[in-house]
Amino acid sequence: MKSGETTPPRPLPSEVPNRPSAAPDRLHEDVALLAAYLLSSARGLLEEPPEYGVYRCLDGARRALETLDQNGVSTPELSAVRRRLDDQMFSPMGGDELLPGTLDDVCMRLVYALKNMKSA
């Protein structure tokens, strides 16, 4: 798609005939709220200090994993990644010098969790 082009809107789930059973309404709402958070974050970043972007991304990942947890479709490994992100997001401000190592650790934990999902 080229810049400026638009795609037609997708039909609502209720408008799709013979639609397979959908995820619970809660999951739909949670994913829509996550999308709203990500979009509003993107807009906010246009006027916020650049370093906020890292925390917005961390929080977006944390919220996505929280959605899996709340809807009973997570794994112990993914839940552990979310708890690690919780620790980072809800810790006192400062300590950014440790952030690169924390991000490396969380990324590796997520890789491990995803590999275990694939082999299960």
The answer to whether residue 64 is domain-embedded is yes
Domain membership of residue 97 (yes or no) is yes
93 vs 1, more confident = 93
pTM above 0.85, yes or no: no
The whole-number pLDDT of residue 43 equals 94
The yes-or-no verdict on residue 15 having pLDDT over 80 is no
pLDDT in tens, 71-96: 899 999 999 999 999 998 888 777 67
Range of the domain at 46: 23-119
Distance CA 67, CA 32 (A): 11
Mean pLDDT score, 1-27 = 54
- Asked if residue 36 is part of any domain, the answer here is yes
The domain total for the chain is 1
Residue 114: inside a domain, yes or no? Answer: yes
Query: 3-state DSSP call for residue 34?
Result: helix
Q: Is there a domain that residue 94 lies in?
A: yes
Q: CA dihedral defined by 86, 113, 32, 67, rounded to 10 degrees?
A: -50
Return phi, psi of residue 115, to 5°: -65, -40
For 21-48, the pLDDT digits (tens) are: 455 778 889 999 999 999 999 999 999 9
Whether 105 maps to a domain, the answer reads yes
Question: Among the residues of the chain, which ranges form H helices?
Answer: 25-45, 52-70, 76-89, 99-119
What percentage of the chain exceeds 90 in pLDDT? 53
